[in-house]
Each structure stands twice: as structure tokens, then as C-alpha cells.
Structure 1
Amino acid sequence: MKGIANKTVYFQEVYSMRSEQDKEPEQETVTEITGTGASDESVADVMEAHVFLLTVPQEIDEYELVDPVDILTPLEKSGFWDGVKATKWSERRDAVAELTKLASTKRIAPGDFAEICRTLKKLATDVNLAVSVEAIQAIGNLARGLRTHFTGSSRILLPVLLEKLKEKKPTLTEALSQTLQAMHKAGCLTLPDVIEGKYLLVKRIDAYEFDVKGAVKNKVPLVRSLTLNWVTFCIETSNKAAVLKLHKDYVPICMDCLNDGTPEVRDASFSALAAIAKMVGMRPLERSLEKLDEVRKKKLSEMIGDGTSLMNTGSAPISASSCNVSGPEGTDSSFVRRSAASMLSGKRPVQAVVVSIAKKGGTTKAGLVKKSDGVAPSKVSMSIEAEDAEFFPFHTININNLFTNTGCLQPGDMSLEEIEQRLCSLINADTISQLKSSVWKERLEAIGLLKQEVENIGELDSTAELLIRLLCAVPGWAEKNVQVQQQVIEVITYVASTVKRFPKRCVVLCLPGISERVADIKTRAHGMKCLTTFSEAVGPGFIFDRLYKILKEHKNPKVLSEGLLWMVSALEDFGISHIKLKDLIDFCKETGLQSSAAATRNSTIKLIGVLHRFVGPDIKGFLSDVKPALLSTLEAECEKNPYEGAAAAPKKIVKISDSISSMPVGFDGLPREDISTKITPNLLKNLSSSDWKVRLESIDSINKILEEAHKRIQPAGTAELFAALRGRLYDSNKNLVMATLTTIGGIASAMGLAVEKSSKGILSDVLKCLGDNKKHMRECTLNALDSWIGAVQLDKMVPYIITALADPKMGADGRKDLFDWLSRHLSSTSDSPDALHLLKPAASAMMDKSADVRKAAEATLCDVVRVCGQDAVSKNLKDLRGPALALVLERLKLPGMIQEVGDSAKIVSTALTTKISSKIAKPGPNGPADRGSKNANKTVPMEDRERMVIRRFKFEDPRPEQIQELECDIMKHFREDLHRRLLSTDFKKQVEGLDLLQKALPSCVKEIIELVDILLRWFVLRFCESNTTCLLKVLEFLPELVETMKDEGYSLTEAEAAMFLPCLLEKSGHNIEKVREKMRELLKQIVCVYSAPKFLPYILQGLSSKNSRTKIECVDLVGWLMDHNGVEISGQLKSLQHVAALTSERDGEIRKAALNTMATAYKTLGDDVWKYVGKLSDAQRSMLDDRFKWKAREMEKRKEGKPGEGRGALRRYFTLNVVALPKKSTQEKSNYGSLCFGGSILKDAFACEVSEIN
């Protein structure tokens, strides 16, 4: 055992992430560092003493297994863009929080995040802390979910994040640190990787070196220190090769910071230097460190520690004392890192053997041995296939635990013996033993028994993977007997279809064997059924992705051809929403069509034909480079499978949620190419060249780029392209303008729906080309519009079209062509809600000077009515007025709701009679108070009209849109001769219209009441005008109408009162005495159809009017209500305070009216009136006291008793006869008081008394 104390074995990383493969230098799998006295015999002694075989497990990247999730579509629907522009910080925060939530998924589908990142860059510097923190967290989530797809955006955001480090808020600093670390760990910003030659691969730390240089020179010390801390983190989490390329640039930065005046910055610099030294050793740093004094050298040595010499090799030793396998580069990971793709390819990892011995008083040693063929299977308990690596939930594995505590192992960690031990309680041991038999009949009998036992298990979810692994081992996929094979596949199919969630690891284990069984005609049906079941369990996209490599590398051409045929059936069953079409098309072109086997080519042609059924003719653009003979065959197959689109519904569903299937409706799934690298600055510059030939060449180059991308492009980088093309739309060379229009149409077709956002409003510039007087130019413009509508649909184009139609520079020919184009597309559309906005421009164009424009506009209007429906059009006529409105109504041919039936006075539609007869009931015994419930069930048209009314007590002049709406309602609901008179500007015609209504009132009561809300609104307009003749006629008709409503038992609704009473009260102070008298009588009459308690708030609002005569009328009306209805109606007593306050007015008439009203209250209340007058000055109280004394003398002369006596007697009677009733509830007492004293108004008063007395 001697001489082995200085022998140590180190493991070194042999696999890396996918992005780093083929870039890092080859490394030794195991590196030995031999100290003094080491010998080969020492290793042999260790091997003889104690040998364990350990397979170093691999760390699977879960990111590779997770399907990408599209977050752009739900983000658009969430109102994100409106929220981030809000003025309220809480709305901005909530909008960004929604993005943070969506981006928290493990893997995000790549897309155009440029605009989102620009918005986040702005919000990261928001003045509100909560918004800024939320934006920074959203950036971190995007970096984790997009990884390398977020590299460009990370480069833009990095300077902002580093500058933001100056903030001292802990929450903000923590968010910044986590986001910066996430950007590095996700590969968005990693260590340098420079490619020699003309181009520099800018995706690593050298890409942000200048940002770091600027940050460490920032005047804020916190920025300098935190930046260096982040650099230290980047170094510690990178590999040695990257740091070797890094240190020459960053060591000088750290050396300069050692002289900083802030201790935190100096400490951060030491940490960065120590991290570099630990990674690459001290030798590359010797020249730079010579400048340090001894104190600083000593401090740096202490930070580096004793492990510096060991770290020179780039590997860390295996700690034998703790029996832990330490990972490479000083980390605690024991995994050999590989990409998920390589782990699922079926290759076994590099295996190593760890040998350890513990002796009393000695040290633990480790060495390297080769795998021995003589080791029994039971001892090789850790032989793990690559697909099983994701079972390891830990990074550090204790060797002793691996071999002694097998009870805690996952299925992927166990040998066949351990799997059998786990299943012994569910599966008979004899059954498993017979599965290993060399006699096929015994295996067949055993698999039959196993099938029965599995079917009898109630819950398979916990044991599904154990069963699959058992069947993959025994009898295994090398089984030769067909019957046994069929039974094995049936058991696997049953398990996959029964469990709630079938592990993808099981699918990976089975696919190689199942794909071979599909090639065998005897097991083909079973194999295809099993693959379909797998697709239902985990999604066909996962199956397709794994089959591509298996089928491509298999030597048997039958496996490929039959696998392609299964893909045909899978597409027919599941559709294309779960499939990555780019990978499938590439597989068909590169493998299927290139095969020398005719059966394989035929299967591929069938597969492409089925794809054509789902995605349409666009797929032919990806097959342009196929041989002519095959191309003709493909076209014939496509004709057999015509495009069905959304009609081709899938027959089967997938159990688990699939992010690929959550794409927007109408998305064909065909791949789109990123052309941003081809849109070079030189190309954009040439588009603005002074030489027209150069400009034309640039436009041709863009068309060529579209052709090379199969006319399927991504929106990335097209914003600058559209900006450059916009200038060419105003080119002096008309041929270039037409070429530009063709190119813009081609870009729209190639980009699809994303063109709306990327085009930055270029459509408005395209539409301006319709103003050209050349027909060929207008035709090119319409062709571009055709391409645009195919990409974004008409609804998205309507706002631009409306603006273009209103442009006075567009000539008659352009408007006519645009209306014809609209009619052509509307005629092929069945539903387009936004087409309703075309109503106004079409109506306006119907009055155009050009007959061709009028004809085209009328055709467009008819199509709008057909698409949107007459009801929708009728409800949106408020923007039209005058002749345009009349023309539209004439084209609509709406049936008049006011018909002439014999007598000319019969002007209201009889169609409403049957509806209203059941709506207006007879008056109840309690009079007007019960009438409000009689019209609770209004007809729908009236409810719609009333819903538009804003409840307010204060009067405001009608707005223009309200007047237009009233005009529309009058024209819809009244006969033509009547509405012409009512809407005439001549007051004489208006008076004639009122005469017609007055004559029709006795015979059309119910019909007119149904339209009373429209009439009241029309009366308001007349009140607001200055014509006395028309106003007096209105005041002559209104009392008759109110009396009729009273007779019919109809009460005004809240909406009707809100639209009429404020105006009536405000205008009651008219300057003509005759008008005031009529209005005064009308107000007193309205109490019969609208209860006093509800009427009172409107009156009180009138007390604050600026018109003194209005105040006087309202004060007198309050006194009248007190005299006739009592003072205790709801709110009446509170009104006394407002009336008493008016006694301080300068106007003597107002003071006089207020004193008279207070005297009326004193008559009823007596001295209790002082409780309700509020705070008054001594002068006011003196005036009131004099008036009260005068009132008392007047009552005494008239022998009316003393003030307040009547109310006191009433209260005593009520107390004795109502309150004293035994065992009566308050409600019953109130009802009793109402019955005793009668009247709906007194009922309110006595309810108030009950509450006061109780």
C-alpha cells in the first residue's frame, strides 16, 4: 500500500452545452497528477483491496426537454401595450407584472421581442421604484426563457442595467443582481469566443467589455463595486478555456480598480483577480501582478487559498475523505455536462471507476481503473443509460449512499435486480423469471401472465416507468419471437394509455425498438398503434423529433419508409398544430426524397401531400430545389390532397398541454426565415442613393432576398427596411414607386400578420399612391393592398382606409378605385365588425360631385349593411347628419315605426300597441306612488334609449352628439311628415308638428307614452331655444300629456325624469311672466306622475341656479310641496336649511320667497322648525322670528289654531294607536299608519315617525 499517498485522480469535463460544442478544445477525460513516490504498483494495490464501479451520471438540461411556450400572443391580448403607456404607475406595474408572469415559463418560444425590450429598457429607468423593479425582473425571466435568442436584446439592455446599479434601494439592487446573473447563466452574455477572420462572433463577455470598462469608471462607487462583483460571478461560472481568452482584457481593469478610493471597489477587484487565478492559475497573471506591493500580493494569495497550484490543471480533486465526487473547475457538480439532444441519442456516457481505501491512521486514496468484464451484474448497480440522467435531482453523489442505501434510488439509478425487487409486490417473481427463459413458449406464457397482472393493477402511475424498463430489459427489444413481441408492445400500449401522465423517458427507451417493430409486417399494426398511443400521451411533436434521427441512421430502409407512413397517419389524426413543420420539411427533403429506395420516396410524397392539405400551396415554396421529376409527382399528390385549412380538424387529442398547439388561429406553422442579417446598412443606404439605377438594384435585391427565403420571413430587422422603402413611395421616378409598391406587397405576403406591427404605418403612405392620375400606378397600389389584406385581414386596414378617403388630395379616380376595391373584398366577407366604421366615409362619398364615386360608394354601403346587419348600422348613425343621413336611411329602407292608418291623426305605429298593452297597467289604489311599478317592464327599444341617459340633477345644454342621436330616433320612430316638421328649423313647422301630436294624443295614448322619452328630449331642445311661440305650444301640449299619463297610471322613469326635469326647473325662471306661469302649473302637475320625494332633489338643485327667477320659483315650489304634502316626506326637512340660507341673498324677491316658505314650514312644525334651519346669522334669525310671529297672528285671525298643533296631535295619535300596538314589528306599524291615515306620501312620513320614536 506504500507510495500511493501522493496519487490523486481528477475528473475533467468532456461534454458541454450545445452552444459550446465543437468550440472548446479537446480535453482529457481523466488527468493524473502524480506526486513524489507514486508508482503503478500502488494503483494495483488499491484495486486489489477494494473496487467499486461508478458511472459518472450526466446532468440533463431540462430546458431542452421542455416545449417552448409562445408568450407574445397572450401578451397582446392582455392589454400590455396600453398598460405600459398609462400615466398611473400602478397600471404600468401591473402591465409589466403580466409580462413577468408569462415569461416565468421555463422555455419561451423565440419571436420578435425587440419592441418589448425597448419598452422594458425605458421602464427599467422609470421614476417609480415598483415599476422599475418589475421591469428588471421581467428582463431576467426573458433571459432565462429565451437564452441565446435573447443575446441581441441583452447587449442593448446591459448598459442600462449597469447604470441602474447606482440606486441604493435594496429591492432594486437585488433585482439587478439576479437579472445580470441570469443573463450570464442563460448564455445571453457569456465569456469571449472570437473567430479569426473578418467577422467577430459577438456573443460573449468581450461583447460587453466596453460596457464594463465604462461602468468601473462610473462616478458612483456602488456601480463600480457591483459591476466587479458581477464580473467575478461570470468568471466563476465559466470554463477555463473562456477565461484564458478573457484575462488579458480584464486583468488590467481589475488592477486599475485596486487603486480605487472606495474599500468596496478594491475588495471586488481582489475577488475578480482571485477568481481568474483560481480558474487559470497564477502563471498567466505573473507579469500583471508584479506591480502589486507585498501587502496586496499577500491578500490576493489568501483569497486564492492553497488550491492555486491544483487549479492550474483546470480540474478539482476527488475528495476521498468525504467520498464525494467533486465536479470540474472547482464546482460541486459530479455530472459530465451534455446537451439534451445527445443524452437522448442512446449513447452511453464515459464511465470511470473510483477506488478508495480507508485505513486506520492513514489517508484515503483514489485511483483510476478500467471497467472489468468480470464484475457481476448485481455489483454494477449504477450502470445508467444516457436517457436516465434526468433522474438525478442532486449534484453531489455520496459513493457509500449509492451502494448501501438503494432504497432511495430512482428507477434510472437501479439495476435489473433492483427493479425486480421493486416490482415483487405487484408482479409475480416466477413471471419475471420466465421472461428471462430461453424457451420462447415460456416467455410467451410469462408475458401473457404479466399482461393480466398489469391490467389488474388499479393505479399504474407510480409503477409505469418500472414496468417499461423491465420490458425493455426482459425479454427486451432483441426478442425474436413475433408473438412475444406483439404481447410486449400491447402491454406497453396499455400502460401508456392508462396512466394519467406517461413519462417521456419511457418513450425514449421504447422508440428504437418500436420503430423496428413497425418495419416488420407481423408487428406493424401493434407498433403503429403504440406510437399513436405515445403521441396521445406526450404529444406527436416529441415523437417526431426523436424519430428523425432514429429513422435517418437506421440501416434498414424499411424502418424509414414505414416510419414515414406512420407519420402520415399521425398528421391525419393530430393535425399539424403539435408538429415543428420546419424540421419535418427538412427531414422529408434531406432524407426521404433523397433515399434510393422507391418505397421511402413514395412514403415521403404521401407525407408531403398530407401536409399540403393542412398548410396549403405555401409548402411548394420549400420544394423548389427538388428534382423536376419528383416535383411533378409532388404536385400531382398535392392535387389529390386539396387545401382544407381549418376544416381539417384533428381526429385525436393530446392528453398533456402542448405549447406548440397554442399558436394563434390561422397560423400555418411553416418556417419563416430571419433576413435581418441580409438587410445590411449598405442595402438601406443604397435605397436612398441619388442614382435611380442603384435604388432600383436595391429594390431588386430585396425581392431576391424574399425569393431565397421562400417568401416566408420573420419580422426581425424589417422595421428599418420599411422606413427606407417609405421614402421610395415618394420617389420622383414613377417606375421606382411602382416597383416599391410591388416589393411592399411581397413583404406583407411573406411576413403575414406580423407586418402590421413592423410596418410602422407604411400602409397610409401606400394608400396615398391612389391619388396618382396614372391608372397603372393605382393598379400597382391595389395589388399591394391585395397582398396586405391577405396578410392582416380587412379589419386592421380600416383605420388607414378611412383616413385616406378623407384626404382631399386623393382624386375622384382614386376614391372610386378604393371603393370598388372595398366592395370586392366585402362581397367575399361574411363577418367584419370593423367594416361598420366605413359607414361615414361611404355616406359622405354618396354626395360626391363624381357620379362614379357616388356609384362606388353606394355599392360599398350596401356591402357594409350586408356584412354588419341593418340593426348594427341603424345604431351607428349618430355620426351622420343632414343629407348624408337621409341618403343612408333611404338605402336602408327601414320599416317606419310610425304609420298612417286612415285618420291623419293616427301617427304613432300600431306595431307597438300589442307590446305596450301588457306594459302599462291600470292605476292602483294608492295612486301615483304605485304607478312607478306599472312600467317596470319597458320594451327593449326604450330601455336601450334610457341606458344612454346620464343621471344628473343639474341641467346642461345638450351636446351635438346627443342632438344627432335624437334626430336619428325621431326619424326612426315617427312618420316622415311628422319628423320633417319636428326637425325643421322653421318654428312654424315645429308648431304644426305639435298640433299633429296633440290631435293624435287621444287616439294613440299608449303608443305616444311608449315614445315619451324621445318627446321629452325634443321638448328640452325647444326649452333651450328662444322662440316664444314654439315654447308656448310645448307648454300647451305638456299638461295634456301629463294628464293623459296620470289617467293611464303611468309614472316617469328615473331616466325620463333625469333627461327632462333639470331643464324644466332651470327654464322655470323664464323672463316672460306667461311662460313662468305655465311652467309653474306644469311643475305642480308633474308631482302626479313623479313622486314628491324623488322630485325634491331636482328642486334643491334649482336653488343653486345662477338665475334669480329660477331660485324664486324653486323656493315657492318647496313651500307648495310642504303645504300640500307635509314636511316629513323624504328629504323635505333637510331642504329647510337650504331655503333658510337664501334669507341672506341680496335680491329682495329671493329673500321674500324664502321667508314665505319658512313661514309655511313654521305653520306645520311650530317651534320645531328651528331644529332644521342650520347655522344662521343673528340678522337672519331676527327676520325669521318676525315672519314666524306674523304667521302666528295670521293663523289666529283665521282661526287655524297655533303653529304645529296639527302635527303634534297627529304624532300623539300615531303613538297611541300604532307604536303602542303589542308585538308588532316596525314594518307592521308603518303599514298600519299608512292604512289609518291613507296616502302614499303619508306612508313615508309615518315610517319616519316610527324610526324616530323607536
Structure 2
Amino acid sequence: MESHLHTFLHPGEAKKWQERKEALEALELLVKNPKLEPGDYNDVVRALKKVVGKDTNVMLVALAAKCLAGLASGLRKKFGSYAGHVVPTILEKFKEKKPQVVQALQEAIDAIFLTTTLQNISEDVLAVMDNKNPTIKQQTSLFLARSFRHCTPSTLPKSLLKPFCAALLKQINDSAPEVRDAAFEALGTAQKVVGEKAVNPFLAEVDKLKLDRVRTHCNKIKECADKVELAGKKGVSGEKKETKAAAPAPGKAASAPSAASERDTKEAAKPGMAPKKPPPSKAGGPVKKGKAPAAGAGAAKGKKGADVKEVFEQELSPEACEEKAATVLPATCMQQLDSGNWKERLASMEEFQKSVESMERNDIPCQALIKMLAKKPGFKETNFQVMQMKLHIVALVAQKGNFSKTSANIVLDGLVDKVGDVKCGGNAKEALSAIAEACSLPWTAEQVVSLAFAQKNPKNQSETLNWLSNAIKEFGFTGLNVKAFISNVKTALAATNPAIRTSAITLLGVMFLYMGAPLRIFFEEEKPALLSQIDAEFEKMKGQTPSAPTRGSTKSGAGGDVGEDGEDQEEDTPADVMDLLPRTEIGDKITSDLVSKIGDKNWKIRKEGLDEVTTILNEAKFILPNIGELPSALKGRLNDSNKILVQQTLNILQQLATAMGPNIKQHVKNLGMPIITVMGDSKANVRAAALLTLNSWVEQTGMKEWLEGEDLSEELKRENPFLRQEILGWLAEKLPTLRTVPSDLQFCVPYLYACLEDRNGDVRKKAQEALPMFMMHIGFEKMSKATGKLKPASKDQVIALLEKAKASMPAKPAPPPGKTSSKQAAAPTPASAPAAAVYDSAPPASESKPDPKKTKPGGLASKGKTQSVSSDGNTSMTPTKANTSISKAKQTKQVVPAKKVPSKPVKEEEDRSGPIYILVPNGKEQRVKEEKGLKVLKWNFPAPRDEYIEQLKTQMSTCIAKWLQDELFHADFQRHIKAMAVMTDHLETEKEGVMSTLDLVLKWFTLRFFDTNTSVLMKVLEYLKLLFTMLSQEEYHMTELEATSFIPYLLLK
């Protein structure tokens, strides 16, 4: 080895980068040997360190990093003496953002870590953690997270843990979210390794929200720690079987942390990865389709669709590539690839193309062929005809073969370099699109844009943005990294070259088609002249809808129905786009000091608190739903005696709705309803601000949450003429736009009739305007029967107005075209989708005949809700008593079934005869996904607040019988005891139902732990004993969500 290595030291100092590259490639081949003889490698390490630290060519930096990784893997512990020399250089070089460089540096430092100890390199790591560059801080924390996994409590003592925790604690408060996330991951890993008891003393000053994030990462590490160990034991053989590479696979132990994540992805995508015992699969309810859950078509949605069948491939050596290429390409083609005569090179390309066209998909050695195309002169080809052919072949290989990201990384730099070429740009763009089809647009676009902006060629930058604009139209918007593109677009808008700015504005116009108004918020700080150009582009796009994707990842599907997948993906797009918006966690900024400021006796201090909230929201733009105690603080300010502060609070609530998006619906009951109360204010400007705020909330949530329950009727009940005018006017505007409404709208009818006779003329006028809108949903017959409780004089007057309103009653909106009701009924409602869209897709009330045994989760008006609106035989205005049995549903069309109306007790018995649990396919999985994605509040509190209870009620509404839900959330504890008795009776007969809703049932029992009534608590414990006995017999395995939302509260009790 020493004799060979000596020849590389002097060329390594060569001025020409090609010579340095050749030297490094030769060195890389030697260090790939699994074991190297110990010796003096000082000069070699010093030369490689110099390339990593000072060379401006990123390709050489990546090669040098690979050489260091190979040396560390080959020398093993003997490399430890060199570790201290190269670790600081590698960490400092993480400022480089190119993915191929970052990956090579990660592999190098991971390999080096295995040759030394954390103690030996701790000073170097700690020194770098104070660096101002966020990428360096992020990658250093991620390195620590990976390193901690190889430690034990003895190799990670308190003396070492203390300085690392101190440095990481600074980073969890960093302004860059990627730095914070990496720091949380490192702390979580440390906690997993040494235990919570050892780490907690260093986290004493950390607030609860951040501690929860550390625990979350700790739990994640728990899941993958075993896989990391397995990767170290089985990785080599597994890789060899998969890749069949000619060269041996070096440095497996070194790359274990990064390789583990790839294997995790692959394992997650494999069918049959569920627990071995069949009963645990019941946790999510019955699975009706026989397809594998992850590899099947149903799981291949959005971003995941491109990753399910991703081709993982190890990078091959040049010799291995030549050997593979020689088996499929003619000898003359191989010989003429690097000929000095351009005509011979052209002939070689023509033979190359013919060979690829004649091959079958599985016979195409993609990486080998791409490396042959990249062989000198590669993509620096000077003859445009040869270059055009070469780019066309890249596209052909990507389309026809099993093209991997490894192959893509070889060629992307060259393609980006040619994208702005007048003669070759078109072929380069087509090749990029072909790679996007093979490797997914989100990944390809991120690499391409990153490479383009790392260059200084304005033509390449503008044409890359033009390619991306067109690619989004072809592939759709699903899965794209919006945050990264926004950052690059801002860079492009600041460019001096007008072509780059124009391309950036065009790209923004395309993004606006998919994202709408929220996109503009990110560019409000641009110069007025530029902002006016952006607004003009957005104005052009208004009213247009994006066309359906014409291209996509053709290699990710696995035997599913393509047509169904396409529809599912399209229907999910709006929710996915909202998910793509970069959102900021502001929960840690809503401190107790801020909350106390907002509630201070001094109005000036209250105003300061509100100003701080406005600043937080302005900086964050879009936020995650966790906002701590802010709702209760803002609710208090809606009653403020200072009207200026009331208006400021309303402005904040408008901003909050826009910032949080559809997730704001969880705050409707505790914070939204008080907005309606403000509409009764005596000042017109305050009422106008309240109405504007209310509409901004409805835009995000839809109307369902506002019409459910008795909250709205209670507001209408108040004898405030301003409030009644505003509510009735608002309902008159909104109700005609809805196809169906919750049956609770009937609670408003008595007060609507009272408003028809109000002393205030404006109230009467608004009530008359709203009357036909109520009638279109409730029906004339029911509205007429509701007059039975009025005084005779009032009844005659109201019936006359009803007759008049009947003539002007509008028709219900037509259902959205191109969507079948059966499909909608079968699909669980996503939490992030606006509620209006959900019940707009439900069938009309008069057509609904639900069978309790076949109730679908999409039917939000299931059981009594829709029938109570249209049933002719029910004289009661109470929706909970309007539920009808199957036999009753068949008789709905009878005109006057007066003689057959049973007494109330019998009717209740009828209503309660069916199952109490409604099986919702994948309902539990959806709830887990929503909680992990922070779309709903995490079940974690010292005492249950209103928003948690409302959230649980909403989640239960689709899978627990309505009448039982009323009992569960009744104010009277006796009703809770009755509900538990019913649940006990159904425990053995509805095992599937119990298991499919176990997460919700256990959450309800945690609420009971906060009760003080001994009778209730005894019943709770009796039921829980029976429940867990049944689950044990069924060999049911609790999910992490079920355990964490229940066991801590049981222990506390």
C-alpha cells in the first residue's frame, strides 16, 4: 500500500483539477480494500485533508471524503491517531450544501468515529457547534445523534454529556428550524442511551413543550435502534445480494447510521411487515382489501408514491462499470466513446442508442451506461451533435431502465450545466424530466435547483426555473419541498439578471395555481416594484385550475389499480398542498409571562402582550396547531372594556386562522364562538371586524363545526338586536352554499321564529331573509310543525311567512362533478380538509338510508342526523331523539304515520338497539398520522382543557353511536355510569369495534380520572379490568399512541 500511495502524493498537489481527480480516483480504488496494512499514512491523510478543506471543486472534495472513509474503514482502530486532524476540517466543510458532498462527508466522519472515541474528538465537535453557519450546526448535531447510538452509559459519562447537552440546549432555541430539529434528535438519542434520569439534570431549565419533543425523538430512536444494530450485523451480505456489484462493499460499519435509514425505508415499504400474530392487526379495524398496506396502490399517495419502490443501488467502481457496459454495448461503441474524432464519437453514440432501445428493462445496467456517457470528454463534449445524442440517451436510459438516485447523481451536474445551452438545452430538460419520472420530481427538482444556484451561470439558473415551472405542470405539485423552493425563488428575485427574475416570477405563478393566496405571504417583504410584478402574475392565474398531471413516477406502483390511485391522489391534493407549507412551532414562544401580560390589569401592558403575539405570527407566517395557553388568553380579550384591544384581538384571530389553516377547527368551540358574541357589540366597526374574522375562520374550517351543537342557538337566544341581525344575515349568506347541514341547525328554529316577531325592524327583516335558507335544509313540513309551540296569534303570522318563504326557497347546490358518492363514503375524512368540502360531498338528506352495520366514515350525517332533517313523522325538534331504526327508515315516505308513533321510551330503546361502535376502515391509522403530524393536539396535559374535550368529541363522532356519545359527554355523572354499563354489555359482542376505537375509549377514561366522584371511578376501574382481560385474550398489542395517552394518567391516579 505504501509504495502505491507514494505515487499519488505529488499529483495530489497538481494545479490542474483533472490531475488531482485522477490521483484521487486511483487512491479511492486502493482504499476500497476491506483491510489495509498498518503503516505511516500521515502524508496521505494530510493531502486528503487539504483537498477537503481548501479545494474549490466539490467533486474533488467528495472524492477526498470517500478516500478518508475508505482509509478509516480499512485501517480501523489504527486510523484513530489521525482522527483529530481531519474531524474539524470535515465538520467545517459541512457548510457545503451539495447533497453528494454532504453525503460523502457524513460517510467519512461516521467511519472515522468508529476508529476513535467521542472523548477524543469532543473538543473539536464542541468548538464547531458555536459556528454561525446553520448547516454546520445542523450536521454536527446529526453526527452527534448518530454517534450517540454507538455509545453506552459507560462511554457517554456525565462529564462528557454535560458539555454536549449545554451546546445542544443552545441549538434548540436556534432561529433555524433544521438546527432545532437536529438538536432535539441528538438530545433524544442521548436520553435513549443513558436514560432519562441521567439527562434530566441538564434539562432543568427546558420548558415542557421542548421536553416533550426530546421524548418524542427518544421514542423514535427506540424503534430504530434495533434496526441499526441489525444493520451492522447483516448489512454486508444483504447489500451484496441486492446489488451483485463486482467490487466488494467497503466501510459497511462506517456507513451503518446512514445505511440504516435507507434500510428502514425499504423495510417500511415491504408487505407483511406487520406483527407476526394476526390479532394485533385488528388495532386499526378490519382491512377490507387484500393488498399489502404499504406496497399496495392505496398507500402510494403523494410524496410517498415515488419512494415505495425506490431503486437502491451502490455506486460501482469505473472498472465494474466498464465490465458491465461491455456486456451490452458493441466493442466499437466502447472504443470510440472517447475518440479524438467527433465523427467517431457520434457513430459511437448512434450505436449506443440502438443498443439501449433494443434492451429489456431488467437488462439495462443503468449506472454503468451513465458512467460510460460521463467518461471523458463526458458532458464537457464540445460537438453539439454528439452532446445532443448523449443527452437523449440519458433520457432513454432513465425511461427504459431501473434508474436509481445513484445513477442520477452521476449525471445531474452535467445536465444542469447544459440546460441553458441554446442547442442542447431542450435535450437536457427532457433528460431531467425523464429522471424526475424515475426518481420522483420532488427529489430531482431539489437536486437540480440546488446545483443550478451553486453555479454562477445566469442562463442555466433561469432555464432551470423554466424547466421546473413546466415540470410542476406535468407532474403535479404533490410532495414538493415548498420551503426549499421559496428560498431559491427569493434568491432568484434578488438576482441582477432580469431573465432570472422573470423565470422566478413565472415559477411563482405556477406555484400559485396549486397553493393560492398563502404563497404571497412569503414575499410581502419584497420591494414594491417586484411585488407588483408578482401580483400581476398571480392575477393572471386567478380563476385557473391546474390541469391533471400527465407524467409521474412510473416505477413506484406495485400491482394496484392505477385508475383508483390517480383519483385518490387528485382528491388528496388540496390537503397535501396545505401540508407542504413550511410551518413553524410557536408553542415555546407562548410563555406564561406572555399570557399574564395579555391578562394584565393595565391596558397598556395588555396591548404589549397582544403586540408580541402579532410579531410572533408575522415572523412565523404559517404555524403548527400547538399554541399553548394562547386561546384562553385571547378569549379573555374579546370581552375587553377597551374596544381598541378587542379589535386588535380580532385582527390577531384573523391572522391566526390564516397561519394555522384547517387545523384551526379544533379551536372553534372554545375560541371561535366568542367571536360570534362580539358581533353583538354596539359599535359598528367592532361588529364589522368580528364578521370579517368569523368569515376568515369559516374559510379554513367550513361550516360544519359552527352548526353542530347548541352553541349557535344559544347565541341567537340572546335578546341582543345587533347580535341577532348579524347572525341571521351571516346564516342567510352561508346556508344556500351548503348541500347538507348538521341536524343541530333545528335548535335555532324557535329563536328564528322569535326574531320574526322581534321589536326591532332590522332583526325582523334579517329573519325573513334567513327563513327560506333554513327551509331548504329543514323542509317546509318540519318548519310548520315547529310552530306548534307558538301562541295562536304568533303561529298564524309565522305560518303565513313560511308560505311566503316556500315560494322563494332556493334549490340545494348540485354535487361536485366527477365524484361518486360510494367512494366518498368509503374514504375517511382527512382532518386537514375543510369541513365544508366534506359534507358538501355527502348525499342529500332525503336520499340517505343508513344501515348501522354498514355505516361509512364519510357519512358525517349518519344515523339520525340526516334523517332528523327530512323525517316527516317526528314532531320533536330535538336531534338526539330523531334517530330512526332500519325499519323506520324504510317508512320515511309515509305522509302522516300519526297512529304508529311510539312513546318516547320505546323509541329510545329502538334507537339504542344497534351496535355502539362503527367500524371505520383505517380510522385509527388516520388518527395516529394526524397526531404525529401535529394536525391535532397531542393528548398531554396536567388537566383537560376544553379544546381537548372538543377534539375527542369530534374524533368520536364518526365511530361511536351518537346517543352513546351524548351520554359519554353529558354533565351528569349518572349518565357516565349508564354509558359504561352499556359499553360493558357490548364488550364481548363488539370486540372488533372496541379495538378499532380503543385509542379514543382510553382517552375518554383518562378524562374520568380527573373526576372526584368515587362511584364513577369504581365503575371506570371495573370496566378497565374487563377491557384489558378481553384484549389480552385476543392477543391485542397496544399501539404507542394508546399507551402514551392512557398509562401516565393511570399511574398518576
Structure 1 length-normalised TM: 0.42
Higher-RCO chain (CA-CA 8 Å, sequence separation at least 6): 2
Which is helix-richer, 1 or 2? 2
Instruction: Give the number of the structure whose alpha-carbon radius of gyration is greater.
Output: 1
Structure 2 length-normalised TM: 0.49
